[in-house]
Structure 1
Amino acid sequence: MTLPSLDRPPAAIAPKSDAPWFLPSRRRVNRFVRQHRISLSVCAGLVLIGCLPYTLRPGGKVELLPLAQQNIQVKVSGRVSRVMVDGGSRDVIQSGRVIATLDVPDLENQLQTTRKQIATQNAGIQVAQRQIKVSEEEVSVTLAELDTARVRARFSRKAYERYRDLYREGAVSMQQVEDYQKQAETDASNLLELQATVQQKQQQRQQSEEKIKVAQGEFQRLNEELKFATDELNRARVTMPFDGVIVDHRLKDKVGTYLEKGSTFATAEEANTDVLRARVQVSEVVADRLKAGRPVEVKLMAFPDDPIRGTVVAVEPSIHLLETEQNRSQDTGNMITVAQLNAGRLLGVIIKLPNQNGKLRPGMSGYAKIQGDTVPVAVAFSRALARFFNIEVWSWLP
């Protein structure tokens, strides 16, 4: 057994630490830091990165919507007799321009018949008006003759009465009395005839006026029919509803085709393509962060290296399924819409994109990202985890 040398100094005794018993000593802390400095540096970097600001950009598939279109429908039934434009080009057609006409022989015949009836009725009214004018003149003349006859009858009556009195006195002969009596009776008879004539002519005048009223009512009715037939004939002309282009090709091949009222003759499309609209399908989980007016960046499949920047116009009010398919029911044979197992729910966002150079076309597809709120990186990338605990775990709790 070897004894320690008495010349060696005793080992230094570590000074007693003032730190509480539950805290590690400084020596241990330093040793832990030296041993795990790389891990601690990584953790510190992650914390720092998690505090950095990050702008959320929810996105989804995008599809350019068709331009505003309208079906041009025929307003009357008829056969296409003439087509002025062939369609299928980008030539702008002004609003109201006639692009086709229909042959409607029934309306044309009705129009001609109504015009003839109006001419006949108008001629009858003019004849009745002339008859009234003649009747008024005849009544005026007869009234003057009636006044004269009244005076003459009154004078003859007085003369007869005077000679009758003189005959009683013996001053005149019976022959003279009889002559004055006959004259008085003749004048009275003429007066009655004139009175009857005046009454008859006045009745004829009233009847003519009533006929004119009836004829004028019929004349007005025929004019309304003429206006209706004219309007219907004008409806046989197919016009452009607004300034735009015709989508359909080879419209002139429709000459001779019979179209029922309400049938679609062609489809008109808006000519202004400087601004196009598109629909972005984003997940429902970001619905609270979508607002009108926010910037959008779009990359289309046709132009992957040329991002397009637009603006949110509106957010659709309802949410729809992500993926559905049409299947035929084995029981009823009808087509039904079935959601796939991996279907999600999407919210449609309408955006507008500039198209001054005209390279964009309706129907193009791609991907779009909408600028959202700015949050810390840790919050941005932990939204799914937070949603899991806030909804899924919460739903498990009794």
Structure 2
Amino acid sequence: MTPSTDDISKFYDRLNSLGLFESDDERPRQLAPSLWKQRPLLQKILFVKIKAFNPDAFLERSLPYIKWLYSPYMLPVYLGLIILAFLAFVSNRMELTAQMKTIGPGSIPLIYVTIIIVTVLHEMSHGYACKLYGGRVSEMGFLLLYAILAFYTNVSDAYLFPDKKKRMKVTAAGIQNQIIIWALAMLVWRIMAPETIFNHAALIIVMLSFLMVIFNLNPLLKLDGYYYLVDFWGIPNLRARAFTYWKQRIFRIISPRYPQREFPERERRIYNWYGLAAMLYSTGFFGYILIKASRFLFFEIGILGVALFYGVMLYMMIEALKKAGFWNVVMSEKGFILKPRNWIIVLIVVAGLALLSLVIRMNLRISQDCLIYPIESLTVTSSDPTSVELMLDRGSGEKSVQRINLSGLDVDVLSIDPLVNEGDIVTNGQVIARITSSESEAQLAESQANLDRAKSQLELLVKGPRPEEISQTEDQIEQVRMKLAKSKSDLERSEELSAKGMIPAQQLENDRTSNEILKAELSFYQNQKLLQKNGARPEEIAIAQANIRAIQSQLDRLEQQLAANSIRAPFAGVVTALRADSTLITLARTDTMRIRIPVPEKEISPVKIGQDVKLKVLGYPGETLNGIVTKISGQTEKGVVQQVFIVTAKAPNTLGLMKPGMTGRAKIYCGKWPIFKILLWRIVRWFRVEAWSWY
């Protein structure tokens, strides 16, 4: 079939847009070496590609069995699955975050296996999508991208698809697969019990899938996001072309005679912004790796290891500039560069910059991670049944511990009862807990009853008998008198009969005894009547009053003992914790918070008390909070990498955003310094102290 003129014209335009034609005014090109040889050593190290196998035959045989997964009818299923997983994630994000913190070194083998399985599924999705639209997949393998292990699938056949949407679907297939795997793992994690291996594996897949999606969406690395942009803009080798465009711009600044290739206006805009972003990202990412490697070598080997490392890096950078043609361009303008006038201009510019660095002053800021504490806190603990400890931390380094011993109390059943709930706001002096026992409560009740009884007896003594009682006594006296009169008459008759010998002597003796008893009974009632009329004696009242005082003293002692066992808040604050373990209650004053900032000893010299502090907490990244340095520790502590001084700052918590235990990033503003001094101070910190002894 003979192609039409229109088809040939479109084919020509396509090849020309891909840069596959040379114009007549371009220099004839020599046969280019292989792509591997063209790359500088630095790029060979940062981007290593290893072919593993050809998966085309396997994909061809297995495609009919999984083709239904790529059917449009599955789209609602996938969307529903993702929405359901997202809702599960939102409703359980706190539990998910807490469980992620439990992943330890023992999970490393499972993490590696999970990475391999998930990544292989990701790459297979690209391959199946390419095969679905009639392409070939001739290569799968490994990538070492900026020292990070990755996988790749060669789906370059997709560039031959005339339909742009199909090419983009092949590129997006991996990320779509990753999101579906994340959704499935999220639902499995939510359903399975936390102690099972399925829950643990699903948790790792959720975490890794999320990170891999974010990583692959980055268009500034040659991953899925980058290739999606290539398909969207229709510019193959976008990254290389953007770098070539910027190389030409930079070389034209050095040498105006450097030949420059013309690009369409649309491509120039894309190359301009994408190339700039890619260069800045690559430079920053490579610089981050460089700094981390430098610190590791510095602390493990020393200055010699760092010097050797930077020597190798410098060689690779010079070799990269050489392969890019930088030195050829510079040498072509050697005469222009070496002109005295140009050197004078350079020296003037350098001197001007140096002068500006001495005149312009900037804030020296020391930035470190920080931990937030309350300005004051009270912790009530009971590590053993015989005591309770109250530890009061005033925040300025002043700490006091009060110990309440329970062993001296005669107790049967002891309990420490909190009177507040977690989250309650308490006032200064409010009782927040009470120590009680069955014995002390019983003693208090008994003493109160004794006091009431003693007071009643005293009241009876003071008031005296009632008239009814006196009248009753008089009736009893009258009855005894009548009995005594009859007894006296009987006694006289018995004496007469006894004198005549008419009765026995024993009967006379009985009558005399009865008469004497009645006389004594009459005397008792007469004395009782006299006492009732006269009232209680002062001595009896005094004894009753003394008895009341003794009982009251015992009652006061018991009440004081109970009051001493009542735990009161020493300040107004919030109950932040209420537990049943050894730490019973934690009370915090949160209107002002303490900021704990570990500052390395190399950076402590400019830090002074009274300097401003600005911080952001992880919970509220959009809020900037202000504080002031209040204390610098007098000795160092062991940090993660080096010795640190603990700098304490105080920050008002007006909005209540800061909570005890929060973390964030704090910046200490150490005053305005000249730019030159700041740069020199930071460079000096790179070296060990021993290095200065070499001079």
Query: Taking structure 2 as the reference length, what is the TM-score of the superposition?
Result: 0.31
Q: Specify whether residues 93 and 350 from structure 1 end up closer, same or farther in structure 2 by C-alpha distance, changes over 3 A only.
A: same
Instruction: State whether structure 2 residue 583 is matched by structure 1 residue 269.
Output: no
Instruction: State whether structure 2 residue 636 is matched by structure 1 residue 319.
Output: yes
* Correspondence for 2:601 among 274, 281, 284: 284
Whichever residue aligns with residue 294 of structure 1, its letter is Q
Whichever residue aligns with residue 368 of structure 2, its letter is G
Contact 2:417 2:434 in 1 (8 A): yes
Contact 2:616 2:665 in 1 (8 A): yes
Distance 1:237 1:387 in 2: 54
1:202-213 correspondence to structure 2 within 5 Å: none
Report the alpha carbon displacement of residue 379 of structure 1 after superposing the two structures with TM: 2.2
Contact 1:315 1:348 in 2 (8 A): yes
Deviations 1:155-175 (A, max 9, x none): xxxxxxxxxxxxxxxxxxxxx
Give the secondary structure class of the aligned counterpart of 1:232.
helix
Give the secondary structure class of the aligned counterpart of 1:369.
strand
Give the secondary structure class of the aligned counterpart of 1:36.
helix
Deviations 1:52-74 (A, max 9, x none): 33332222222222352213466
Matched residue, 1:48? 355
Whichever residue aligns with residue 269 of structure 1, its letter is A
Contact 2:375 2:650 in 1 (8 A): no
* Correspondence for 1:88 among 419, 422, 430: 422
1:352-391 correspondence to structure 2 within 5 Å: 352-383=650-681, 391=689
Deviations 1:327-353 (A, max 9, x none): xxxxxxxxxxxxxxxx21222221222
Distance 1:284 1:390 in 2: 12
Q: Which has the higher helix share?
A: 2
Deviations 1:350-395 (A, max 9, x none): 1222332222323222222222243332222122555789953453
Report the alpha carbon displacement of residue 116 of structure 1 after superposing the two structures with TM: 6.8
Distance 1:387 1:83 in 2: 52
Give the secondary structure class of the aligned counterpart of 1:357.
coil
Deviations 1:131-178 (A, max 9, x none): xxxxxxxxxxxxxxxxxxxxxxxxxxxxxxxxxxxxxxxxxxxxxxxx
1:154-303 correspondence to structure 2 within 5 Å: 223-235=552-564, 237-249=566-578, 265-270=584-589, 272-273=590-591, 275-303=592-620
- Choose 1 or 2 for highest CA Rg: 1
Give the secondary structure class of the aligned counterpart of 1:62.
strand
Deviations 1:206-242 (A, max 9, x none): xxx9999999999866654432222223445554444
Contact 1:59 1:281 in 2 (8 A): no
Contact 1:67 1:362 in 2 (8 A): no
Whichever residue aligns with residue 88 of structure 1, its letter is E
Matched residue count = 257
Matched residue, 2:368? 60
Distance 1:83 1:372 in 2: 45
Distance 1:357 1:45 in 2: 47
Matched residue, 2:198? none
Deviations 1:274-315 (A, max 9, x none): x32211222223333222222222233334443333222222
Instruction: State whether structure 2 residue 388 is matched by structure 1 residue 69.
Output: no
The CA RMSD over aligned residues, in Å, is: 4.4
Distance 2:364 2:685 in 1: 16
Distance 2:546 2:430 in 1: 37
Distance 1:116 1:355 in 2: 52
Give the secondary structure class of the aligned counterpart of 1:371.
strand
Unpaired segments of 5 or more residues in structure 1?
A: 1-30, 127-208, 324-342
Query: Taking structure 1 as the reference length, what is the TM-score of the superposition?
Result: 0.50
Distance 2:693 2:549 in 1: 77
Whichever residue aligns with residue 631 of structure 2, its letter is A
Distance 1:303 1:101 in 2: 38
Deviates more, 1:363-372 or 1:298-307: 298-307
Q: Specify whether residues 303 and 33 from structure 1 end up closer, same or farther in structure 2 by C-alpha distance, changes over 3 A only.
A: farther
Distance 2:634 2:545 in 1: 59
Q: Specify whether residues 246 and 360 from structure 1 end up closer, same or farther in structure 2 by C-alpha distance, changes over 3 A only.
A: closer
Contact 1:72 1:241 in 2 (8 A): no
Whichever residue aligns with residue 319 of structure 1, its letter is T
Deviations 1:102-126 (A, max 9, x none): 5522123333555677789999999
Contact 2:602 2:685 in 1 (8 A): no
- Aligned-residue sequence identity (percent) comes to 25
Q: Specify whether residues 33 and 59 from structure 1 end up closer, same or farther in structure 2 by C-alpha distance, changes over 3 A only.
A: same
Q: Specify whether residues 51 and 370 from structure 1 end up closer, same or farther in structure 2 by C-alpha distance, changes over 3 A only.
A: same
* Correspondence for 2:340 among 7, 28, 33: 33
Give the secondary structure class of the aligned counterpart of 1:226.
helix
Contact 1:104 1:236 in 2 (8 A): no
Distance 2:445 2:617 in 1: 60
Give the secondary structure class of the aligned counterpart of 1:276.
strand
Give the secondary structure class of the aligned counterpart of 2:340.
helix
1:96-107 correspondence to structure 2 within 5 Å: 96-99=429-432, 103-107=436-440
Instruction: State whether structure 2 residue 111 is matched by structure 1 residue 111.
Output: no
Contact 1:60 1:369 in 2 (8 A): yes
Contact 2:414 2:438 in 1 (8 A): no
Contact 2:415 2:437 in 1 (8 A): no
Unpaired segments of 5 or more residues in structure 2?
A: 1-337, 382-387, 389-403, 460-537
Q: Specify whether residues 211 and 319 from structure 1 end up closer, same or farther in structure 2 by C-alpha distance, changes over 3 A only.
A: farther
Report the alpha carbon displacement of residue 84 of structure 1 after superposing the two structures with TM: 4.7
Matched residue, 2:44? none
Whichever residue aligns with residue 636 of structure 2, its letter is I
